[in-house]
Amino acid sequence: MGLRPVLLNRRVAGMASTSLALALGVATIGLLPAATTTAAPSAAVTADEVCDDQTGTLARAKGGGAATHDPNQLTIAQVHQREAEFADILQERAKRVGQRMLNTQAAVATVTIPVVVHVIRRDTTRAGGNIPDSMIQSQISVLNQSFSGATGGAATAFAFQLQSINRVTNSSWYPIRQGSTAERQMKTQLRQGTKSTLNVYLGALSNGLLGWATFPQRSLNVMDGVVVLSESLPGGTATNYNQGDTGTHEVGHWLNLYHTFQGGCSGSGDQVADTPAEASPASGCPTGRDTCSSSGLDPITNFMDYSYDSCMYQFTSGQATRMINAWNAYRAA
Protein backbone atom coordinates (compact mmCIF):
# COMPACT_ATOMS: atom_id res chain seq x y z
CA MET A 1 0.00 0.00 0.00
CA GLY A 2 2.99 2.26 -0.42
CA LEU A 3 4.12 2.62 3.14
CA ARG A 4 7.72 3.61 3.33
CA PRO A 5 9.84 0.57 4.19
CA VAL A 6 11.85 2.50 6.74
CA LEU A 7 8.72 3.39 8.66
CA LEU A 8 7.29 -0.07 8.30
CA ASN A 9 10.49 -1.57 9.64
CA ARG A 10 10.56 0.83 12.50
CA ARG A 11 7.01 -0.09 13.43
CA VAL A 12 7.50 -3.79 13.03
CA ALA A 13 10.69 -3.71 15.04
CA GLY A 14 8.86 -2.08 17.88
CA MET A 15 5.63 -3.96 17.64
CA ALA A 16 6.26 -7.18 19.49
CA SER A 17 6.72 -5.88 22.99
CA THR A 18 4.18 -3.12 22.51
CA SER A 19 1.49 -5.46 21.30
CA LEU A 20 2.14 -7.90 24.05
CA ALA A 21 1.95 -5.25 26.73
CA LEU A 22 -1.22 -3.84 25.28
CA ALA A 23 -2.82 -7.20 24.80
CA LEU A 24 -2.16 -8.04 28.41
CA GLY A 25 -3.46 -4.68 29.54
CA VAL A 26 -6.68 -5.03 27.60
CA ALA A 27 -7.17 -8.62 28.65
CA THR A 28 -7.49 -7.51 32.25
CA ILE A 29 -10.58 -5.46 31.55
CA GLY A 30 -12.35 -7.78 29.20
CA LEU A 31 -13.06 -8.65 25.66
CA LEU A 32 -11.92 -7.04 22.52
CA PRO A 33 -14.59 -6.52 19.93
CA ALA A 34 -13.91 -9.12 17.29
CA ALA A 35 -12.72 -7.12 14.36
CA THR A 36 -14.00 -8.45 11.09
CA THR A 37 -12.59 -7.17 7.90
CA THR A 38 -12.85 -7.71 4.21
CA ALA A 39 -9.61 -5.91 3.60
CA ALA A 40 -6.97 -7.57 1.46
CA PRO A 41 -4.02 -9.04 3.32
CA SER A 42 -1.81 -6.16 2.27
CA ALA A 43 -4.17 -3.77 4.00
CA ALA A 44 -3.57 -5.58 7.26
CA VAL A 45 -0.36 -3.61 7.50
CA THR A 46 -1.96 -0.37 8.36
CA ALA A 47 -2.12 2.45 10.78
CA ASP A 48 -2.60 1.25 14.28
CA GLU A 49 -3.91 2.62 17.49
CA VAL A 50 -3.54 1.63 21.07
CA CYS A 51 -5.62 2.28 24.12
CA ASP A 52 -4.18 2.82 27.54
CA ASP A 53 -6.87 2.12 30.09
CA GLN A 54 -5.10 4.07 32.80
CA THR A 55 -5.20 7.35 31.01
CA GLY A 56 -7.75 6.81 28.30
CA THR A 57 -5.00 7.52 25.85
CA LEU A 58 -5.30 6.76 22.18
CA ALA A 59 -2.40 6.55 19.83
CA ARG A 60 -2.12 6.65 16.05
CA ALA A 61 0.65 4.93 14.21
CA LYS A 62 1.65 3.94 10.76
CA GLY A 63 2.61 0.42 9.82
CA GLY A 64 2.33 -2.75 11.90
CA GLY A 65 -0.81 -4.11 13.54
CA ALA A 66 -2.88 -6.69 11.74
CA ALA A 67 -6.47 -5.54 11.36
CA THR A 68 -7.75 -8.79 12.84
CA HIS A 69 -5.71 -8.24 15.96
CA ASP A 70 -6.35 -4.64 16.81
CA PRO A 71 -5.73 -3.95 20.49
CA ASN A 72 -6.33 -0.29 19.86
CA GLN A 73 -10.06 -0.04 19.84
CA LEU A 74 -11.85 0.80 23.02
CA THR A 75 -13.82 -2.14 24.31
CA ILE A 76 -17.60 -2.05 24.16
CA ALA A 77 -17.63 -1.74 27.94
CA GLN A 78 -15.26 1.22 27.87
CA VAL A 79 -17.39 3.03 25.32
CA HIS A 80 -20.56 2.35 27.30
CA GLN A 81 -18.96 3.69 30.46
CA ARG A 82 -17.73 6.83 28.76
CA GLU A 83 -21.05 7.43 27.02
CA ALA A 84 -23.04 7.00 30.22
CA GLU A 85 -20.87 9.57 31.96
CA PHE A 86 -21.09 11.93 28.99
CA ALA A 87 -24.91 11.70 29.04
CA ASP A 88 -24.98 12.33 32.78
CA ILE A 89 -22.86 15.44 32.48
CA LEU A 90 -24.96 16.77 29.64
CA GLN A 91 -28.13 16.25 31.64
CA GLU A 92 -26.62 17.92 34.69
CA ARG A 93 -25.58 20.86 32.60
CA ALA A 94 -28.95 21.09 30.88
CA LYS A 95 -30.62 21.36 34.27
CA ARG A 96 -28.11 23.87 35.51
CA VAL A 97 -28.26 26.23 32.60
CA GLY A 98 -31.95 25.69 32.01
CA GLN A 99 -31.66 24.73 28.41
CA ARG A 100 -31.32 21.60 26.41
CA MET A 101 -27.72 21.10 25.43
CA LEU A 102 -28.14 17.84 23.59
CA ASN A 103 -28.09 18.06 19.83
CA THR A 104 -26.70 21.54 19.84
CA GLN A 105 -25.89 22.58 16.32
CA ALA A 106 -22.51 24.09 15.80
CA ALA A 107 -22.51 26.00 12.58
CA VAL A 108 -19.81 28.58 13.18
CA ALA A 109 -16.70 28.95 15.26
CA THR A 110 -17.71 29.98 18.74
CA VAL A 111 -14.82 28.62 20.76
CA THR A 112 -11.23 29.69 20.26
CA ILE A 113 -8.92 27.22 21.94
CA PRO A 114 -5.56 28.47 23.23
CA VAL A 115 -2.75 26.17 22.14
CA VAL A 116 0.51 25.67 24.00
CA VAL A 117 3.08 23.78 21.95
CA HIS A 118 5.96 21.99 23.64
CA VAL A 119 8.80 21.06 21.29
CA ILE A 120 10.65 18.16 22.88
CA ARG A 121 14.11 17.94 21.38
CA ARG A 122 17.32 16.01 21.90
CA ASP A 123 19.44 18.96 20.84
CA THR A 124 19.05 22.09 18.78
CA THR A 125 19.37 20.42 15.37
CA ARG A 126 16.42 19.57 13.15
CA ALA A 127 17.46 15.91 13.35
CA GLY A 128 17.31 16.27 17.09
CA GLY A 129 13.70 17.38 16.95
CA ASN A 130 14.14 21.14 16.77
CA ILE A 131 11.55 21.91 14.09
CA PRO A 132 11.10 25.54 13.06
CA ASP A 133 8.31 27.84 14.21
CA SER A 134 7.00 27.93 10.64
CA MET A 135 5.96 24.26 10.82
CA ILE A 136 4.08 24.87 14.04
CA GLN A 137 2.32 27.89 12.59
CA SER A 138 1.36 25.80 9.55
CA GLN A 139 -0.06 23.14 11.86
CA ILE A 140 -2.24 25.73 13.57
CA SER A 141 -3.46 26.83 10.13
CA VAL A 142 -4.28 23.22 9.26
CA LEU A 143 -6.30 22.86 12.45
CA ASN A 144 -8.22 26.04 11.69
CA GLN A 145 -8.93 24.98 8.13
CA SER A 146 -9.94 21.45 9.12
CA PHE A 147 -12.23 22.45 11.97
CA SER A 148 -13.83 25.34 10.06
CA GLY A 149 -14.89 23.10 7.21
CA ALA A 150 -12.65 24.95 4.77
CA THR A 151 -11.23 21.67 3.48
CA GLY A 152 -14.67 20.35 2.52
CA GLY A 153 -16.23 19.01 5.70
CA ALA A 154 -18.74 20.33 8.17
CA ALA A 155 -17.95 23.50 10.07
CA THR A 156 -17.29 22.86 13.73
CA ALA A 157 -17.44 25.31 16.62
CA PHE A 158 -13.69 25.43 17.05
CA ALA A 159 -10.81 27.70 16.14
CA PHE A 160 -7.26 27.53 17.45
CA GLN A 161 -4.88 30.23 18.55
CA LEU A 162 -1.19 29.62 19.21
CA GLN A 163 -0.42 30.93 22.65
CA SER A 164 3.22 29.93 23.06
CA ILE A 165 5.98 27.64 21.89
CA ASN A 166 8.00 26.02 24.63
CA ARG A 167 11.26 24.40 23.51
CA VAL A 168 12.63 21.78 25.86
CA THR A 169 15.96 20.00 25.46
CA ASN A 170 15.80 16.71 27.33
CA SER A 171 17.21 13.51 25.87
CA SER A 172 15.37 11.36 28.44
CA TRP A 173 12.06 12.52 26.91
CA TYR A 174 13.26 11.86 23.37
CA PRO A 175 11.67 9.91 21.85
CA ILE A 176 8.44 10.32 23.78
CA ARG A 177 7.31 6.86 24.87
CA GLN A 178 3.56 6.37 25.13
CA GLY A 179 2.51 5.33 28.62
CA SER A 180 5.98 5.69 30.10
CA THR A 181 7.01 7.21 33.39
CA ALA A 182 9.00 9.69 31.35
CA GLU A 183 5.84 10.81 29.55
CA ARG A 184 4.14 11.44 32.87
CA GLN A 185 7.15 13.34 34.19
CA MET A 186 7.28 15.41 31.02
CA LYS A 187 3.60 16.37 31.19
CA THR A 188 3.72 16.97 34.94
CA GLN A 189 6.53 19.45 34.43
CA LEU A 190 5.31 21.08 31.24
CA ARG A 191 1.51 21.13 31.04
CA GLN A 192 0.05 24.63 31.14
CA GLY A 193 -3.41 26.13 31.53
CA THR A 194 -6.83 24.69 32.30
CA LYS A 195 -9.05 21.98 30.83
CA SER A 196 -9.73 24.34 27.93
CA THR A 197 -6.04 24.74 27.05
CA LEU A 198 -4.77 22.45 24.33
CA ASN A 199 -1.27 21.26 25.19
CA VAL A 200 0.55 19.77 22.20
CA TYR A 201 3.75 17.81 22.71
CA LEU A 202 5.90 17.43 19.60
CA GLY A 203 8.86 15.13 19.22
CA ALA A 204 10.15 11.84 17.97
CA LEU A 205 7.80 9.06 19.10
CA SER A 206 8.46 5.47 20.04
CA ASN A 207 7.29 2.46 18.01
CA GLY A 208 6.58 4.34 14.81
CA LEU A 209 3.61 6.11 16.32
CA LEU A 210 2.19 9.20 14.68
CA GLY A 211 0.51 10.47 17.80
CA TRP A 212 -1.85 9.89 20.68
CA ALA A 213 -4.41 11.81 22.64
CA THR A 214 -6.47 11.78 25.80
CA PHE A 215 -10.24 11.96 25.88
CA PRO A 216 -11.82 14.66 28.03
CA GLN A 217 -12.40 13.75 31.66
CA ARG A 218 -14.47 15.27 34.46
CA SER A 219 -11.42 16.51 36.31
CA LEU A 220 -8.26 17.87 34.80
CA ASN A 221 -5.69 15.12 34.48
CA VAL A 222 -2.07 16.12 34.11
CA MET A 223 -1.81 13.73 31.19
CA ASP A 224 -4.42 15.72 29.25
CA GLY A 225 -3.29 16.77 25.81
CA VAL A 226 -2.09 15.46 22.49
CA VAL A 227 1.28 14.08 21.47
CA VAL A 228 2.18 14.38 17.80
CA LEU A 229 5.15 13.24 15.75
CA SER A 230 6.94 16.47 14.91
CA GLU A 231 7.70 15.31 11.37
CA SER A 232 3.96 14.81 10.73
CA LEU A 233 3.50 18.55 10.75
CA PRO A 234 3.15 20.29 7.37
CA GLY A 235 6.52 20.19 5.67
CA GLY A 236 7.72 17.27 7.77
CA THR A 237 9.43 14.13 6.54
CA ALA A 238 6.73 11.54 7.38
CA THR A 239 5.77 10.57 3.85
CA ASN A 240 1.99 10.31 3.34
CA TYR A 241 1.45 11.66 6.83
CA ASN A 242 3.04 15.09 6.64
CA GLN A 243 0.15 17.43 5.92
CA GLY A 244 -0.83 17.99 9.53
CA ASP A 245 -3.82 15.66 9.71
CA THR A 246 -2.38 13.64 12.55
CA GLY A 247 -2.72 16.82 14.58
CA THR A 248 -6.32 17.20 13.43
CA HIS A 249 -7.08 13.53 14.20
CA GLU A 250 -5.62 13.69 17.71
CA VAL A 251 -7.42 16.94 18.52
CA GLY A 252 -10.60 15.19 17.39
CA HIS A 253 -10.02 12.61 20.14
CA TRP A 254 -9.21 15.41 22.60
CA LEU A 255 -12.66 16.78 21.76
CA ASN A 256 -14.27 13.37 22.40
CA LEU A 257 -14.43 11.79 18.96
CA TYR A 258 -13.89 8.08 18.48
CA HIS A 259 -12.56 6.46 15.35
CA THR A 260 -14.98 5.98 12.50
CA PHE A 261 -14.24 2.24 12.84
CA GLN A 262 -14.93 2.12 16.57
CA GLY A 263 -17.12 -0.90 17.29
CA GLY A 264 -16.90 -2.20 13.73
CA CYS A 265 -20.12 -2.93 11.84
CA SER A 266 -22.44 -3.56 14.78
CA GLY A 267 -23.87 -1.44 17.55
CA SER A 268 -23.62 2.30 17.74
CA GLY A 269 -20.02 2.42 16.56
CA ASP A 270 -18.50 5.85 17.01
CA GLN A 271 -21.72 7.26 18.53
CA VAL A 272 -22.12 9.55 15.52
CA ALA A 273 -25.08 8.89 13.21
CA ASP A 274 -23.73 10.36 9.99
CA THR A 275 -20.46 8.41 9.78
CA PRO A 276 -21.22 5.06 8.11
CA ALA A 277 -20.08 2.00 10.03
CA GLU A 278 -16.66 0.66 9.14
CA ALA A 279 -15.24 -2.74 10.05
CA SER A 280 -11.61 -1.74 10.37
CA PRO A 281 -9.21 1.14 9.77
CA ALA A 282 -8.70 2.22 6.19
CA SER A 283 -5.16 2.36 4.88
CA GLY A 284 -3.92 4.57 2.08
CA CYS A 285 -6.87 5.96 0.14
CA PRO A 286 -9.08 3.00 -0.90
CA THR A 287 -11.87 4.63 -2.88
CA GLY A 288 -15.11 2.67 -2.77
CA ARG A 289 -14.16 0.70 0.33
CA ASP A 290 -17.30 -0.79 1.91
CA THR A 291 -16.63 -3.14 4.80
CA CYS A 292 -20.09 -3.21 6.42
CA SER A 293 -23.43 -4.31 4.99
CA SER A 294 -25.17 -1.29 6.47
CA SER A 295 -25.71 1.68 4.19
CA GLY A 296 -22.93 3.98 3.17
CA LEU A 297 -19.38 3.54 1.97
CA ASP A 298 -16.58 3.56 4.54
CA PRO A 299 -15.82 7.12 5.65
CA ILE A 300 -12.22 7.00 4.43
CA THR A 301 -12.10 10.76 3.96
CA ASN A 302 -13.00 11.41 7.57
CA PHE A 303 -10.29 12.79 9.84
CA MET A 304 -11.06 10.05 12.35
CA ASP A 305 -10.10 7.21 10.01
CA TYR A 306 -6.50 6.09 9.32
CA SER A 307 -6.18 7.10 5.69
CA TYR A 308 -3.28 9.07 4.23
CA ASP A 309 -3.34 12.77 4.98
CA SER A 310 -3.99 13.46 1.30
CA CYS A 311 -7.15 11.36 1.56
CA MET A 312 -8.81 12.75 4.68
CA TYR A 313 -10.41 16.16 4.69
CA GLN A 314 -13.60 16.22 6.71
CA PHE A 315 -15.54 16.03 9.92
CA THR A 316 -19.30 15.47 9.68
CA SER A 317 -22.02 17.61 11.22
CA GLY A 318 -22.69 14.80 13.68
CA GLN A 319 -19.09 14.90 14.80
CA ALA A 320 -19.27 18.70 15.07
CA THR A 321 -22.29 18.38 17.35
CA ARG A 322 -20.62 15.73 19.48
CA MET A 323 -17.53 17.90 19.89
CA ILE A 324 -19.35 21.07 20.99
CA ASN A 325 -21.50 19.05 23.38
CA ALA A 326 -18.36 17.50 24.82
CA TRP A 327 -16.71 20.89 25.05
CA ASN A 328 -19.64 22.22 27.06
CA ALA A 329 -19.70 19.12 29.23
CA TYR A 330 -16.01 18.75 29.94
CA ARG A 331 -13.83 21.62 28.89
CA ALA A 332 -15.76 24.88 28.94
CA ALA A 333 -14.82 27.21 31.77
Residues that bind Zn ion (CB under 5 A): 49, 58, 60
* Active-site residue flag, 250: yes
Say if CB 7 and CB 61 are below 8 A apart.
Answer: no
Residue 122 or 264: the one with the smaller Cβ distance to Zn ion is 264
49, 183, 231, 250: which is the annotated catalytic residue?
250
Residue 49 or 298: the one with the smaller Cβ distance to Zn ion is 49
Distance CA 211, CA 281 (A): 16
Residue 174 or 215: the one with the smaller Cβ distance to Zn ion is 215
Instruction: Report DSSP state, residue 314.
Output: B
The least CB distance from residue 123 to Zn ion, in Å, is 30
Q: Counting beta carbons within 10 angstroms of the beta carbon of residue 186, is it exposed (0 to 12), middle (13 to 18) or buried (19 or more)?
A: buried
Say if CB 1 and CB 46 are below 8 A apart.
Answer: yes
| Position of minimal CB gap to Zn ion | 60
Strand 198-203: give its sheet, edge to edge: 48-52, 57-61, 209-214, 226-229, 198-203, 111-121, 158-169
Distance CA 241, CA 248 (A): 12
Which residues, other chains included, contact 87 with Cβ-Cβ below 8 Å and sequence gap of 6+? none
Residue 49 or 270: the one with the smaller Cβ distance to Zn ion is 49
Task: Return the active site residues.
Answer: 250
